């Protein structure tokens, strides 16, 4: 087993409707992504309208507001709860408008110069990704740019199995009411094929590997509680049991990854970047 790879089983339990909190780590990754990709590709005068969808978008909003002060930034959220939180967060930013819009909703045609998608695609079956790319293509103006960032958990399927086994224990499954974690994941070839099928010209599809560092078990636990949807499902009914659930997952994961008892925990974090134009 490779050291530190337990993060995959944790993140694989996420539901994109539950990513209502953002960590400083995600913000730093998002900031780098914007600086090196967004800034390199886009002419300032051409960006007047932007579609933002997903999680960890705060760095993108800041960068866009600073560089394109006249652009309209439309944030689409599939969760009504998250949409309300985003609306409150950005109520003092006149550039930002927040909408509750699911992935199955139809998008307006030829409206945006740029579309950005963060941490959405890894949860979706290929057929849904296919439809989503077609909607994004439709909503972009001619020569519009689509930038997407997602994660790939398929590299270590045995770690996903650990969380699946934990949530299947009767004391937890009884509280989950049929909810089960799953992860789809897609290869780079699949993303390229789906982008081309939607009509895009593919500029770049690549991996970027980085590592998250947590200075304590508690820091890791706080991070995971914000993101792990199965934990949140249980916590709504039984907070004490939810703590037990999270501790069991962390204990088993630290043991498997060889990090039990370590003061610093290292977590591999493979990202998939996509850039395409209409």
Q: What is the model's pLDDT at position 35?
A: 52
CATH of residue 188: 3.40.50.150
Q: What is the model's pLDDT at position 227?
A: 61
Distance of alpha carbon 256 from alpha carbon 10, whole angstroms: 13
Average pLDDT, the chain: 76
In terms of pLDDT, which residue wins out, 69 or 16? 69
Share of the chain above pLDDT 90, in %: 22
In a domain, 155, yes or no: yes
In a domain, 2, yes or no: no
Q: Is the dihedral of CA 20, 191, 115, 267 positive or negative?
A: positive
Domain span at 106: 7-277
Three-state DSSP class for residue 184: coil
Please report which confidence band the pLDDT of residue 183 belongs to, taking 50, 70 and 90 as the band edges. Answer: low
In a domain, 105, yes or no: yes
In a domain, 1, yes or no: no
Please report which confidence band the pLDDT of residue 103 belongs to, taking 50, 70 and 90 as the band edges. Answer: low
Residue 25 has pLDDT above 50, yes or no: no
Q: Which range (138-142, 178-182, 204-208) has the least confidence?
A: 178-182
DSSP 55-124: SS-HHHHHHHHHH-TT-EEEEEES-HHHHHHHHHHTTT-TTEEEEE--TTSPPPSS-EEEEEEES-GGGS
Residue 245 has pLDDT above 70, yes or no: yes
Residue 77 has pLDDT above 90, yes or no: no
Q: Which range (72-76, 95-99, 106-110, 244-248) has the least confidence?
A: 106-110
Query: How many domains in the chain?
Result: 1
**Torsion angle defined by CA atoms of residues 50, 56, 62 and 68, in that order, rounded to the nearest 10 degrees:** -20
Share of the chain above pLDDT 70, in %: 74
Interaxial angle between packed helices 126-139 and 188-198, expressed in degrees from 0 to 180 and rounded to the nearest 10: 40
Chain centre to alpha carbon of residue 63: 19
Cβ 122 vs Cβ 260: under 8 Å = no
């Amino acid at each position: 087993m490779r050291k530190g790879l337990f993060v995959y089983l944790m993140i694989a339990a996420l539901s994109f409707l539950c990513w209502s909190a953002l960590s400083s780590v995600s913000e730093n990754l998002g900031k780098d992504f914007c600086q090196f990709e967004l800034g390199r590709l886009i002419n300032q005068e051409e960006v007047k309208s932007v579609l933002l969808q997903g999680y960890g978008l705060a760095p993108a909003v800041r960068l866009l507001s600073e560089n394109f002060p006249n652009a309209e930034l439309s944030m689409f959220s599939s969760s009504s709860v998250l949409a309300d939180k985003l609306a409150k967060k950005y109520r003092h930013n006149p550039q930002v408008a927040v909408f509750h819009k699911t992935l199955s909703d139809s998008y307006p045609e030829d409206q945006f110069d740029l579309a950005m998608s963060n941490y959405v695609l890894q949860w979706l079956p290929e057929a849904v990704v296919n439809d989503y790319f077609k909607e994004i293509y439709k909503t972009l103006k001619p020569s519009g740019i689509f930038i997407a960032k997602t994660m790939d958990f398929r590299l270590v399927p045995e770690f996903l199995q650990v969380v699946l086994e934990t949530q299947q224990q009767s004391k937890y499954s009884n509280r989950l009411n049929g909810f089960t974690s799953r992860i789809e994941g897609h290869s780079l070839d699949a993303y390229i094929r789906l982008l081309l099928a939607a009509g895009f010209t593919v500029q770049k599809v690549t991996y970027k590997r980085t590592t998250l560092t947590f200075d304590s078990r508690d820091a890791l636990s706080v991070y995971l509680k914000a993101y792990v949807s199965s934990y949140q499902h249980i916590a709504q009914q039984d907070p004490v049991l939810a703590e037990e659930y999270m501790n069991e997952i962390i204990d088993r994961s630290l043991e498997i990854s060889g990090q039990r008892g370590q003061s610093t925990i290292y977590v591999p974090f493979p990202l998939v970047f996509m850039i395409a134009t209409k």
